[in-house]
Structure 1
Amino acid sequence: METKVLQFLNRYNVNFDDKVLIGVSTGVDSMTLLTILQKLKFKNIIVAHVNHGVRKESIDEEKFIINYCHERNLKYYISHLNPNTIENNFQEEARNYRIKFFESILKQENCKFLLLAHHLNDDMETSIMKIIRGSNLKGYSGIDECVYMKEYLILRPLLKVLKENIIKYAKDNNIKYFEDYTNTLNYYTRNRIRHHIIPEIINENESFHEKFLEFKETLNEASKIVMETCDKFIYQEVKRTNEYYFFTKKAFLSLSPFLQVEVLFKLLKDFNLSKANILELIKLIKSDKKNLKVNYKDVGFVKEYEDIYLFFEKHEKFKFYKIIDSLGEFPIDENRSIVVSKKNDISVTNLNKVWYNSNMLPIIARTKKPGDRISFSYGTKKVSKLLIDEKVGITKRDKVIILENNNQILAVLGYGKSNILANIKNCDIMIELKEKNNEY
């Protein structure tokens, strides 16, 4: 097994002098990998252990790994997870906690390699879970042996090794380890697959693990071909900003249904969405409604006529309220501000500018509210209807700035001015909405 691990690490250019961070739970898998690294004479092994605080045995496991590292002069880091802070899926949130913990160590130690002890049985279980829950082509292939992150690699040297062989190696080499009794509970989907489904499959074919590896390779090769098509579409049709992805409905629907799913999985891979989640988003894209705004599974989905926006965070409604009471500049957001300056004898046609009487300050600058109406020479009109008629997208509607005095709307900046302004005399100031660019 040492030879397999060494060949694996050589393939990814991990040298004996390199710092390697290994996640150690004290279970048989991670203790075996840790032992092998020491036998191979890796010189800069760093151990990371998370005490999840769920089992009373966790205290003994933490003490064990601390003593183990002291005795072997291994550098180690310990973190404690408070299970009371987790409200939803414990396994998923604990996994996210571990990754953040590992990343903090990698950064602190300037380490480029994170080693995890997932094995072939883990891989088979993951693939079956994805089939049950639904995924994309890549997801069905299970766990990656190598994941290229921005500043480090996640490596899984035991991914093609069966659990039974790891246990045998541990016994043959007198490796001490702890067993987590929660792995025997049928409460978790993975455990039910491990204890009931996979044994039945192996009863049908004792070489199932070999067939699984063939299946995995086939999916991975097919996925590469599919990803080339997805990458081409994303390069040509998808725009990315710091806040969202943008593409048109027409371009997206030109893809086959299969590729629509694959593209969204690729764009939203950090959200851990299921196939059912992706299909729901596709329904929203296909919707006949011209404007939609939905927060779905932490993705902010916005549809403005034929334009689709996928925000990286839940899309909260923009709110702004400011008393304008003097000359000067009043920031709205990073791109816009209201500027009040002294102006005399000027005719204003620009809808972003209002000529006003300084003696009638202060006025209110704010975002719109339900029921807002503006007065024109022909009568009043709902601000929401004005913006719809102007074909203002739903996200921009939320950011439109209204000028108000004594509960009367003076202007919807950029879109309409009230006839009230025509009756104001002795105007001497300009109130102007200034934009750094047109993307707000």
Structure 2
Amino acid sequence: MTPFQYIVEKNKWFTPTDRVLIAVSGGVDSIVLLDMMCRLPSDLRPVIGIAHVNHQLREVSDVEEQFVQELATAYDVPCYCYRWAEGANLQTGIEYEAREIRYRFFEQVMMDQQFNILLTAHHQDDQAETVLMKLIRGGLLEEKTGIPRQRTFGPGKIIRPLLDYTKVELRQYAAEHKLTYKEDASNASDQFLRNRLRHDVLPQLQAENPQAVAHLSEFAQELAELVAAYQPHLQELLVKVIELDEESLTVDIPLLLSHSRAVQKLLLKEGLKKVFQQEGQFNKQYIEETLDWLQTSAGNSCLDWQGGWQCIRTYNVLRIQRQDQPAVFKSTDEVVISAINQWYELSPTETFGVFNSGIDQSELPEHALVLSIPQAAIKLPLRLRHRQSGDRMTYKGGRGTKKLKDIFINQKVPKVERDQAWLVVEQTGCILWAIGYKQCRLSNDAITDTMNYILVYQKDDAQE
């Protein structure tokens, strides 16, 4: 059994019934991969096809395309080629655009020809270069994991079977099997960062330690495994601490700060990444400044980030959003209702009270909101607060409990209004009333033969 056969059998990447498309440029790496795949025994070898993109960036591009087509004939496998006409006219961003074109073409071939696996010939040296590039450029931890050995792609997945092989080993294989290939002259140019690392940095690292490339590859693999291990736990914690929507994230500050600083940073980064999809603009300095600010600030306050973002603290709630969204502060954190037949101030424009059923409701303000609940069903004190992550309630006309978030969404309540809504909460934590939106099942119509509490909320719009 050859080393490559052992790797394939160990990882169980494919079976003879799979359809595998191999990206072949004509260089030594992809030619070796093609040869290794075609030499697999029948019980391991899948159905094979070749995909090649002629970028038309060099004079020899057409020669390389012809070479790959002849190889396909020699190996008796189908070959799918694409000529990128625009490539010859590009002056900048060539490397990025060429890669995008390649992978779009590979995906299209997979869909059109029913291939379910794409193989590329990335090797250990490529992995080391990628890790160094990402360390130099910075970014989130999970971005430094290097080239993944396997991931979903198009209608199936992409696999890199040669990540355990060095460039030297691939050249040795080609020499032993008398394989011919084409040298890409652009690999000798120092125009690109990857080439500069390949020519100047990696040789110096290998002079210090001949195993430097292998160690960088091991680092990428171990980091990828670490990220894969903590991600499920991070996601589970994220839904408890942070509420996400399309334009902002809302954070339960006490719950966030109850975790270690390291976990706080991970949660904020993950939340920002999910909401804004542009995590690069949220650098580490912003995260650190925000956490420091949360430790020292209180009540209602704001913290502006560069780039048009802001953090809005409303007592125990943090909202991160674009500055062009309205910055709405909730009036207070929590009000305890411990006595009946008196008014409690929620804000300069809002009051709330609990009254005996004998109150003359005709004397209440015209626009007051009223809820009647049997006295035997609840005990004072009640609490008025704003929503928290995980809130649920049983409501009149509904079955079982339902997430308050879903109730608001179903009623098409805007995000800002959700944050301002008052909740009346009983001692047990049961939500009796989402004022202005939903009443609990205990509410009734103030039937005369039942002793009720009358809950009254009023807002003076004239003062706003």
Could you tell me the TM-score, scaled by structure 2's length?
A: 0.57
Q: 1:53 to 1:164 in 2, by over 3 A?
A: same
Query: Match for 2:59 among 52, 56, 61?
Result: 56
The count of corresponding residues between Structure 1 and Structure 2 is: 315
How far did residue 180 of structure 1 move? 1.1
Give the aligned partner of residue 162 of structure 2: 158
Where 2:49 maps in the other structure, the secondary structure is: strand
Q: 1:86 to 1:257 in 2, by over 3 A?
A: farther
Equivalences for 1:355-434 in 2 at 5 Å? none
Matched with 1:248 is 251
| Counterpart selection for 2:132 from 125, 128, 131 | 128
Letter in 1 for 2:81: I
Q: CA deviation at 1:221?
A: 4.0
For the 8 Å contact 1:292–1:394, the answer to whether it is kept is no
Q: In the alignment, which residue of structure 1 is the partner of 2:32? A: 32
Give the AA of the match of 2:4.
K
Whose Rg is larger?
2
Aligned mates of 1:59, 1:152 — CA distance in 2 = 30
Q: Is the 8 A contact 1:291 1:394 kept in 2?
A: no
Q: Please show how residues 99-248 of structure 1 align to structure 2 within 5 Å.
A: 99-149=103-153, 151-237=155-241, 246-248=249-251
The offset of 1:96, in angstroms, is 2.4
Matches of 1:237 and 1:144 in 2, distance apart?
30
Q: CA deviation at 1:134?
A: 1.2
Task: Give the deviation of 1:74 after TM superposition.
Answer: 1.6
Q: Is the 8 A contact 2:286 2:305 kept in 1?
A: no
- Distance, in Å, in 1 between the alignment partners of 2:286 and 2:209 is 39
Give 2:458's aligned residue. none
Between 1:201-210 and 1:117-126, the stretch displaced more is 201-210
User: 2:39 aligned with 1:22, yes or no?
Assistant: no
Q: Matched residue of 1:47: which SS?
A: strand
Aligned match of 2:336: none
Q: Give the partner amino acid of 2:319.
A: D
- Computed over aligned residues only, the root mean square deviation of the Cα atoms, in angstroms, reads 4.1
Structure 1 residue 256, shift from structure 2 partner: 5.6
Cα distance in structure 1, aligned partners of 2:112 and 2:54 = 20
The Cα of 1:76 is off from its aligned counterpart by 2.1
Shift of 1:166: 0.1
Q: 1:307 aligns with which of 319, 331, 345?
A: 319
Name stretches of at least 5 consecutive residues in structure 2 with no aligned partner: 326-366, 368-413, 419-464
User: How much does 1:265 deviate?
Assistant: 5.9
Shift in alpha-carbon separation, 1:98–1:303, aligned structure 2, 3 A: farther
Output the TM-score relative to the length of structure 1.
0.59
Unaligned runs of 5+ in 1: 318-348, 350-391, 397-440
> Given that residues 69 and 79 in structure 2 are in contact (C-alpha distance below 8 angstroms), is that contact kept between their aligned partners in structure 1?
yes
Asked whether the 8 Å contact 1:5–1:157 carries over to 2, the reply is no
Deviation, 1:225, is 4.2
From the superposition, tell whether residues 272 and 88 of structure 1 become closer, same or farther in structure 2 (CA, over 3 Å): farther
C-alpha offsets along residues 62-93 of structure 1, whole Å, 9 cap, x if unaligned?
Answer: 12112222343322222233236768633233
Partner Cα distance (1:86, 1:115) in 2: 27
| Offset, 1:127 | 0.9
Match of 2:378 in 1: none
Percent identical: 26
User: Are the equivalent residues in 2 in contact too, given 1:136–1:262 (CA < 8 A)?
Assistant: no
For 2:104 and 2:37, locate their aligned partners in 1 and report how far apart those are by CA, in whole Å. 23
Per the alignment, do residues 196 and 230 of structure 1 end up closer, same or farther by CA in structure 2, a change over 3 Å counting? same
In 2, the alpha carbon distance for the partners of 1:209 and 1:171 equals 22
Tell me by how many angstroms 1:271 deviates. Answer: 6.1
Match of 2:75 in 1: 72
- 1:144-184 deviation digits (Å, cap 9, x = unpaired): 21123474221111001010000111111121211111111
Distance 1:151 1:240 in 2: 29
What is the CA distance between 1:103 and its match in structure 2?
1.7
Amino acid paired to 1:308: I
Letter in 1 for 2:11: R
Distance 2:239 2:55 in 1: 42
Structure 2 residue matching 1:230: 3-state secondary structure: helix
What amino acid does structure 2 have at the position aligned with 1:223? V
Q: Give 2:18's aligned amino acid.
A: D
State the alpha-carbon separation in 2 of the partners of residues 61 and 252 from structure 1.
57
